[in-house]
Amino acid sequence: MEKTDVDRLRRLDREHMWYPWTPMDDWMANDQLVVERADGCWLIDPEGRRYLDGRSSMGMNLHGHGHPALVEALVAQARKAGETTLYRVSHPAAVELAARLANMAPPGLQRVFFAESGSTAVETALKAAYAYWVAKGEPERSTFVSMANGYHGETLGTISLRGVNNDQVDMIRKTYEPLLYPSLSFAQPDCYRCPVGMSSGGCELDCTDSLEEILVREKGKIAAVIVEPRVQALAGVITAPEGHLAKVAEIARRHGVLLIADEVLTGWGRTGTTFSCDAEGVTPDLLTVGKALTGGYLPLSATLATEEIFDAFRGGAFLSGSTYSGYALGAAVALASLDLYEKDDVLGRARALADVLTAELEPFRGLSHVGDVRQLGLIAGVELVADRENRTPFPPQDRVVERVCTLARDNGVLVNAVPGDVITMLPSPSMSHDDLRLLTGTLFRAIREVTGE
Ligand code: PMP
């Protein structure tokens, strides 16, 4: 791109764009990274500078950018039919994809309802769960229980789920508070700041007692428990101890409430199994997928349900859906992505890359301002602290984590910061081992430099 074109773009950006979650004054005061092209796991700006994408575009990118098989699938489907809508019409790609998802999912999840984003897939799951109880003659079961500090999307329905029973200021929820429905939350399985005060060892998953208590107290009023299975990424990569998910599932079953597993981020090998639920042999009643479903090429998501849930709607209809539900282009690209998932052994690659990541993260533990390093598969977080002994955070005005991310970016590597001073990495399984080492090495140096080590 010519310099004049870039300048024009920046001017139009300042005049017309409005970015998600972005303090716009800051944005407009600085020249921002513009990604014009991409190649594999690298993003390229108009001047030709290359940035290694350590966040795989928020966990979407599964096979790298510009994969010929995905481009071909997209073009081939566009030539046949771009969209058809699923309202009283069917098309082969959506049907094939539903069958494929049912085959790959934890056993028993046979029904697939399509949407476009992770948020709308979760919203669908919530509506399906409540409508299920209405159909069963228990409309008073209208309360959802989620894990404290969880993240399930941006619609009013999904932000209503965000737990507030911890210290973290939840700005999004606070802003929309009057518009939200009441929900309950139980303790997050945070082993660095254990909610039940265990120091090290001896964990018997006592943090799940708070779920049990809610289900006893609110007997007959709870529709479903919703969790991000085994890892809460946006909460700061809170990795649950082994057995936590199975215990939550067991408690939900025992109290006769539904379980929703939100696998929007964790699906497709990111945590070391195709779905995170697979690792603990859990079949939820409803399971959501999105993000990497199309390899990140198009927006498409799905809510999978058991036949038991589906059957409750047989006498009538599930009153939910949207124009683009299961559109043909998205479904065709998702099928091509799932073909690649198997053909290229993406799961095997994800596991091998996760092992490299584990080794690469080890030296971070020796840094005096790294409080904790957490990882599940290809989801990793490094928590920075002012004082390791007392686990105290840096003063917010120092913007330490933000400065680390900016320095890493200036050195050609993109990582994310999430509240709680955690730097997160979500590398694509398609990233080479050398590129991953470049990512962690650059981040390591950026942390040392910013924290003055
Ligand atoms: N659930 C989880 C667990 C997520 O991580 C996200 C996105 N980060 C969502 C839901 C929302 O997905 P989307 O941004 O596609 O609406």
What is the bridge-based pairing of β-strands 184-186 and 109-115? unpaired
Which residue has its alpha carbon closest to ligand 1 atom 15?
A: 118
264 lines ligand 1 (CB under 6 A): yes
Answer with the residue of higher pLDDT: 18 or 198.
Answer: 18
Residues 332 and 349 in one domain: no
pLDDT for 166 equals 46
Q: Is residue 11 part of a domain?
A: no
Which residue has its alpha carbon closest to ligand 1 atom 14?
A: 118
pLDDT for 163 equals 62
Among candidate residues 296, 302, 222, the one with its CA nearest the CA of residue 261: 302
How many Cα atoms are found within 13 Å in the side-chain-facing hemisphere of 40? Answer: 10
Residues 230 and 132 in one domain: yes
Residues 127 and 219 in one domain: yes
* C-alpha 21 – ligand 1 centre gap (Å): 14
pLDDT in tens, 411-424: 999 999 998 899 99
Residues in the chain: 453
- Domain range for 282 is 68-343
Which residue has its alpha carbon closest to ligand 1 atom 1?
A: 152
pLDDT in tens, 213-245: 999 999 999 999 999 999 999 999 999 999 999
In whole angstroms, what is the distance from residue 147 CA to residue 156 CA? 17
* C-alpha 298 – ligand 1 centre gap (Å): 15
- Whether the predicted pLDDT of 164 surpasses 60: no
The ipTM assigned to this model is 0.99
Residues 319 and 360 in one domain: no
We report the CATH number of the domain holding residue 41 as 3.90.1150.10
Cα angle at 382 between 205 and 439, to 5 degrees?
135
pTM value?
0.97
Last residue of a domain, one of 286, 308, 343: 343
Residues 305 and 370 in one domain: no
Residues 272 and 330 in one domain: yes
Q: Is residue 10 part of a domain?
A: no
pLDDT in tens, 84-94: 889 899 999 99
Q: Is residue 28 part of a domain?
A: no
152 lines ligand 1 (CB under 6 A): yes
Q: What's the domain count of the chain?
A: 2
Instruction: Work out the mean pLDDT of the chain and round it to a whole number.
Output: 94
Last residue of a domain, one of 317, 343, 369: 343
Please, which pLDDT band fits residue 198 given cuts at 50, 70 and 90? confident
% of the chain at pLDDT higher than 90: 87
Please, which pLDDT band fits residue 32 given cuts at 50, 70 and 90? confident
What ligand 1 atom has the least distance to the C-alpha of 266? Answer: 3
pLDDT in tens, 281-329: 999 999 999 999 999 999 999 999 999 999 999 999 999 999 999 999 9
418 lines ligand 1 (CB under 6 A): no
* C-alpha 6 – ligand 1 centre gap (Å): 31
We report the CATH number of the domain holding residue 265 as 3.40.640.10
153 lines ligand 1 (CB under 6 A): yes
265 lines ligand 1 (CB under 6 A): yes
What ligand 1 atom has the least distance to the C-alpha of 290? Answer: 15
Residues 313 and 383 in one domain: no
What ligand 1 atom has the least distance to the C-alpha of 291? Answer: 15
Residues 88 and 234 in one domain: yes
Please answer whether residues 422 and 381 qualify as being in contact, where contact means their C-beta atoms are separated by less than 8 angstroms: yes
* C-alpha 426 – ligand 1 centre gap (Å): 14
Q: Is 46 exposed, middle or buried (0-12, 13-18, 19+ CB in 10 A)?
A: middle
What ligand 1 atom has the least distance to the C-alpha of 59? Answer: 8
> Which of 60, 291, 418 should be mutated for ligand 1, with most atoms under 8 A from CB?
291
Please, which pLDDT band fits residue 165 given cuts at 50, 70 and 90? very low
Residues 82 and 206 in one domain: yes
